[in-house]
Every structure is written in C-alpha cells, then in structure tokens.
Structure 1
Amino acid sequence: MDRQQIVAQVTDSMEGAPSAFAIRDARKVDARGIEEHAWIVADANGAIAARGTSDDDFEAACRANGIGTDAVIDASGKIMTPGYVDIHSHGAWEKSFDDGPDGIDVARAGHAMHGTTRQVCSLITNPIDVQCENLRNVRAKMDQRPDILGAHLEGPFLALSRKGAHDPECLKDPVPEIVDRMLEAADGCLRQITIAPELPHGLQAIRSFATAGTVPAVGHCDADYETARRAFDEGAGLMTHMFNAMNGLHHRKPGPIPAAVEDPRVTIELICDGFHVQDPMLRLGLGFAPHRIAFVTDAMAATDCPDGAYKLGALDVDVVDGHARLKSNGAIAGSTLTLEHAVQRAVLELGMSPVEAIEAATLTPARAFGFDRPYPVTGAPLGLLAPGYAADVLLTDPADWSVQHAWCAGRRIK
C-alpha cells in the first residue's frame, strides 16, 4: 500500500469499532517484567480481558470471550509489549499536527506504523489565534478516534534565550487573558503546556493551567534551581525534553534539571536519538530518575521522510542525514525520531534493560496524565499488558525490535 492508502486504513480503523482477538506464544515485556510463552485475550470493548502463560487458561479465556481460531494470532515467539505512548511529537510524513484535520490524520498514520498507538499532538508556537484554532482541531479529532489523547502547546510561553526553533515574533508572556483564551479553545483537550517559569507571569500561569487540569511542563527556559522548584510546587508535573533548550548542569548554578530529578512528582521527557542528547549524557540521564523518564520524539513533519526542505510552523527547516535544523540559524528544529527507534536505541545501543525501555515508552508517559488509571479520555488505563487495561498491543521482532503488528483499543492498525 502507498501512504495515502495507509492513512485511509488507519483513519478508518480508528473511527471504527474494536474487535475481540487473542495473541498466544509471545514473549511479554512490560513495566512489570518479562514472561515467556505469554498470551492475552482482548474483548469486544477494546480492553484486555485475560492474560497468562497456561495453554489451558488460554483456551478457557478464548471460549469465555467468544474468540474463534480465526481471531487468534500466533506470535511464534515475537515480543509483545503495550503500545507506545508519545506525549511530545509534532508530525510525520510531511504533515504537522498544526496542519488541520487532514494533517492530523496523516501524521498519526506515520507514527502508528512505528508502534505509537496513542499520541498527544504537539502544536508549535504560532500567533494566538492560530494556536487556538489548532487546539479546536485536535479537540474535534478526539471525539472521532481513540488514539489521539489531546494536545500539547510547546509555546508561546518560552524564554527568548532558549527559544530553539520557535518563532521569536510569536513568543508571549502568559498573561491571564491569553491563558483563558487557550483553555476555552482547548475545551478540555490541553494535556500539557511548556512554560518558562521565570517569565513575569510564568508561575501564575502554571498555577492556572494546573488548576484547569492541564499539566504544565518546565522547559525552553533559563530558570534557576529555586524558580524551577517553585514551578513544580505550583503544579508543573513535567520537564520538556531534559537537557535541550534549558540551562544545563553546573556545579554552582544547578538550574532546573536537579529540581526535576529531585521531585518525585515530575515526569522527565528525554529524546533518545543520540543527536539531541549524545549517548554519554543519555546514559547518565536514564539513571537520574528511575520510573520517571518518558521517551518522547519531538518529531516534526520530516519524520519517516527523505532529507530535504520542510516547515516547522512558519519557519524553514533543512533536514540533512535525518537531522532537522532551521535554515536561518542552524538551530535544532525537532527530530525525525519515532518511539520505535527510541526503544531500539535504548535496548540495542545503550544497554538499557528491555523492561525499563518499554516502561519509558509506555507506562511512564501514560502516568504523566493519569492515563495509567481509568480515565474519561481513554476509558481503560494505558501502559501495561494486564486485565482491564486497553488492548493497545505491539508485536515486535526479537532480533531488532522492529514493530511488526499493532493494535489500539482493540482496533488493528498494522
């Protein structure tokens, strides 16, 4: 199939109903550990009904859920994991989540083909009217398909000195009037928003967004240690892509990173591509906060595409050797990473345990928003292969951890 056909197939699947199915003879890997000769049974509501390793129990679970042999997949020893959850990604397949309903469908299909079964759609800095319209587009898509968890605003409340690839003409101080407009446009879909807490209204905005149910993220900032600690006390629960677009570690000026590492309430994003953060620092960072590191991609429209010229918002981007940089000044402009590749790198190149790598791509990002528990947006919780959890399942090749098959809420997408 060409990409247009894949987009149509994924979109139709996500807008359709779940189906009961079963997978047997897999190597189960999730945050709770590894099991050989494992199986799951998913019911017709898109949730996991049973899991185990006994053949007799498997047959009984299939009978109890009306699953015939035609709905049983023999994994033949493939690795079975929960679906990946990307909470910070901007696009793929030449489209951004800012590009309207059709753009959202295309970008989602691009990441779905690499095992990302659920996605928070990150929206780049733009004029406020544009950002509000983009929020409304994401909100409408949430009503149509279960794989879209909501939106992330990366901007416009960023420090000019740490703007990265964001348009400086659109950066703002988060005054209450703008905060209220964004929350109204989002209509409950705004999952996280990146804020530099040292801005004049930064801490007040963090408090307002947290009160409204959005998780503020400290990032694109020049905050000192104390200001970052205050931000977390005011309700910030995330750090946007640790190490990138922030003041780094210094023995007399600790900055925001130690504040996030010390605070057990904070989930820490990390881009595991070896470019945004080189491998020695990745290995160091992975040990900072066990069970609180969430792999994210920060992927832009060039993801899964050839090198060439692309756009990030209104800014021109050149992609060379898979690395995206602004044409104007060479600043890193997002990534072309997928969570599939992040897990592959973590396990095969960095020596991370499979259990920890899968946790960082599944349960930890889900937990950042409470999606590891029953939640109105997701219904069943996300992040584990366990009874009662959503039937978000991947089968991957044991040799290279490439994703072979994927289901989201009981709907097959690959």
Structure 2
Amino acid sequence: MNDAIKGNILTPGGWIHGAVTFGTRVADIQGAAADPKGNADDYILPGFIDLHVHGGAGKDVMEGGDAIHRIAAIHARHGTTSLLATTMTAPPEDIDVALAAIGKAVKERGRNEARVLGAHLEGPYINAGKLGAQPNYARAATLAEVQRLETLAPLRVITVAPEIAGHLGLVRELANEGMRVQIGHTLGSYDDGVAALEHGASGFTHLFNAMSGLHHREPGMVGAALAHAQFAELIPDLLHVHPGAIKTALRAIPRLYCVTDSTAATGMPDGEYMLGRHTVHKCMGGVRLPDGTLAGSTLTLDQALRNLVGLGLDLADASARVSTHAADYLGLEDRGRISPGAWSDFVVLDRELKLKAVYIEGERCDLNDA
C-alpha cells in the first residue's frame, strides 16, 4: 500500500503543489505547477546526498565495526538519505578495517539510517605536503592495490594528488573502471589539474581546502577547477570557505555540490574526538587539530541548505547542490530527484527550512532516535 504526503514538491520539472504517492519508490505525483510563495504549505525536497562523511554521533568511519551505522543514523536525522563513508589517510590495515565495515553496511541498511552507497577513499594517495588534517601516511597508489580495496567495499570516489609520480596514468585507469577520481590534498599546479581532468578526473575534493590556491600568475589547482570543472565538492559551513569564495565557485562550476566533511564531533558537545589516528577538538563551532588546523566539520546538510539560501540561492538551486548534483556525479538517476520510479528519498521542511520529516526508501525516520 502506498503512502502520500502533500505540499510544495520540488520535481525535475519545477515546483508542483500537490501530493506525491510512494512505496519504496515514487509511484505518482499529482498537482499543478505553482510558485511556493503563493501558499504556506511545507516544502518537499529530494533527500540530501553527502559524498564526504567521516563521522558523527561520537563515531569515526575508521573505527570499523558498527560505527558506520551510528554515523548513518545521525546524518539521517538531519535529512541525509544516502552518503559515502569516507576514509582517512592511514596504514593499510586501518583502511582495510574501515572498508570491510563499509562494504557490510552497503548491504545492511538499518532502520532510521541513511543508505550507505559505498566509500570515498580520501587517502592515502595524496601529497604529504598538503595533508591538511590527514595523518602522515601518504603514499603513491598502484592499480593492483586499489583493485584489492575495491573487493572490500565499492569505491565510488577516490581522492588523488595527480602530481605524484605515476598518478596521472592511474587516474585514467581508475576512471576507466568507473570510479569518480577527485583531485585533492594536492600541491599540483594549474597544468597538473588540467592534465588530470584530461586523463579522466571528474571532480575536486573540498574545493579551496588543501590545494594550491589561485593567483593571477599561478592559477594553481583552484584555478584549474574554476576554469574547467563541471563538478566539485565544497564545504559550506562558512568556516572552511569564505562566502565570497563560495559565490565565486557557484558562478564558475555548473554542478558544484556540497558536502559536510563531518567528523565524529557532529551532533556532539565540545570536547575531544578521534579523526582516524588524530585527536581533534570541537570548540567554537569548529573542529581543529591541536595546532589550529581545521579538521573536518560538524556540518549537517540541512544546515548546509540553510547556509546556501542565506547566501542568496533560491531554494530549488540550493536543493540541487545538496542532492541532485551529487547523485548525477555518481551517475545515479534514481536518487536526488522526486520523480516516478525514483527511490522515495524525501525531506519535508517548514517555511523556515527546519526539518519536519525524512523518508528513506519510503520509510519515515524517527528524528528523535539516537
């Protein structure tokens, strides 16, 4: 038997004032095209999709075991209906433990949990000179090693510093295997970025952060992204990236999408938490290493949506940047949109953009569930 919810429904064709009926997938949408400004009803948007999640609820992806289920649950309570569990640069045995747990979670979504789509392998194939908050276990990649890791969990996204010897050719090999290769944690030049894109790289990891910056005579990796990227991820917590830089990226990169880069500190009080093998400190609204380096965030995607609207984006555009563009980046035609046949992943927001309900694959989540 199908359920139904009513309100201002954001569809691929625009706003519909009416009702969406659904089971695990969308059955039908009935109503008429209408500007939501003409009524006071709730907004019904596609569920949020986060492609860069390290933790939440006191748990870190690198712990392995059941940590991923706690993480998926806390993010579901903030409107994230699917996500990529993201690893840290670490010794091989740590990465194996994390990926084994992610692989299991992909097959076993628990009640009130976001769907784990696979892994984002953020390390260890990065530049040791641009670690950011990554522990210093950076090393060069080999195709054989990545293929072995792929047997543990689906590697949907992999971050690579293209200037490392051997990595440019690897970018093409990984892209040919269907992975989304992102440029990140890199000291590479503008030319390195252009070359990586030409070899099949398709995005940039937390744009502006942990990469060579833009200068008018040395455009750097940021310049390559702004000049050539179709997709890139960005952390819109208003701490990692200045609002002016966010607006620059929004104008330059057609399908810029937002991620949280969230840590174990997400949803937790101030204090110490683990981020891979690092101890990080949550205080004053941020997460930092002892030396003050930003170390992920406590952002959730419902707040990211509100931040984008606060910067001047209309709600439909902001919604696409926390949902649809990320789905498109992964090639998922049945997520990130409300249309017949798509997964029934929705968020219901009031007129102040506060979350009222979350549906994941047709199941209404208990937003009070810990």
Q: 1:391 aligns with which of 344, 347, 350?
A: 344
Of 133, 152, 167, the match for 2:135? 167
- 2:108 aligned counterpart, secondary structure: coil
Of 356, 365, 368, the residue aligned with 1:413 is 365
Q: C-alpha separation between the residues in 1 aligned to 2:268 and 2:12?
A: 31
Give, as a single letter, the amino acid of the residue that structure 2 aligns with 1:223: G
Q: In structure 1, how many angstroms separate the alpha carbons of the residues matched to 2:9 and 2:102?
A: 33
Alpha-carbon offset, residue 76 of structure 1: 7.5
Q: Does the Cα contact within 8 Å between 1:79 and 1:398 map onto a contact in 2?
A: yes
Alignment equivalent of 2:151, drawn from 161, 166, 184: 184
Q: Gapped runs of 5+ residues in structure 2?
A: 33-38
Q: How many residues align?
A: 356
Q: Find the structure with the greater CA-based Rg.
A: 1
Once residues 98 and 130 of structure 1 are traced to their aligned partners in structure 2, the CA distance between those partners, rounded to angstroms, is: 7
Aligned to 2:263: 300
Deviation at 1:258, TM superposition (A): 3.1
2:61 alignment partner, one of 73, 76, 97: 97
Q: Residues of 2 paired with 1:83 and 1:101: CA distance?
A: 26
Task: Choose from 168, 176, 181 the match for 1:211.
Answer: 176
**CA RMSD across the alignment:** 1.7
For 2:240 and 2:144, the matched residues in 1 are separated by 34
Question: Deviations for 1:15-46, whole angstroms, at most 9, x for unmatched residues?
Answer: xxxx731112x1123554323x3210103xx1
CA deviation vs aligned residue, 1:121-151 (integer Å, no higher than 9, x gap):
1111111122122112111111112711000
The aligned residue for residue 6 of structure 1 is none
Aligned to 2:3: 21
Show CA shifts across 1:54-81 (max 9, x none): 6xxxxxxxxxxxxxxxxxxxx9811100
- Do 1:31 and 1:356's aligned partners in 2 also have CA atoms closer than 8 Å? no
**Match of residue 382 from structure 1:** 335
Determine which of 173, 177, 189 is the counterpart of 1:224: 189
Separation in structure 2 between the aligned mates of residue 33 and residue 289 of structure 1, nearest angstrom: 22
Conserved 8 A contact 2:143-2:174: no
* AA partner of residue 275 (structure 1): L
Q: Which amino acid aligns with 1:276?
A: H
| Residue 358 of structure 1, aligned match among 309, 319, 330 | 319
Which residue of structure 1 aligns with residue 300 of structure 2? 338
Which residue of 1 is the match for residue 204 of structure 2?
239
The answer on whether the counterparts of 2:226 and 2:249 sit within 8 Å (CA) in structure 1 is: no
User: What is the DSSP-based 3-state SS (H/G/I as helix, E as strand, rest coil) of the residue aligned with 1:41?
Assistant: strand
Instruction: State the one-letter code of the partner of 2:15.
Output: I
For 2:326, give the aligned amino acid: P
Q: In structure 1, what is the Cα distance between the partners aligned to 2:13 and 2:318?
A: 12
The CA distance in 1 between the partners of 2:125 and 2:92, in whole Å, is: 11
Residue 36 of structure 2 is matched in structure 1 by none
Q: Which of 280, 291, 316 in structure 2 is aligned with 1:317?
A: 280
Match of 1:10 in 2: none
- Aligned twin of 1:148: 116
Mapped partners of 1:34, 1:389: distance in 2: 17
Q: CA offsets per residue over residues 69-118 of structure 1, 9 Å max, x none?
A: xxxxxx98111001000011111110012222310111111100000000
Cα displacement string for residues 379-411 of structure 1 (whole angstroms, at most 9, x for unaligned residues): xx1111111111101111112x11110111111
Are the equivalent residues in 1 in contact too, given 2:66–2:101 (CA < 8 A)? no
Counterpart code for 1:136: A
Distance in structure 2 (CA, Å) of the matches to 1:31 and 1:159: 39
Equivalent residue for 2:31?
53
Q: Given residue 306 of structure 1, which amino acid in structure 2 is its aligned partner?
A: P
Name the SS for the 1:38 alignment partner: strand
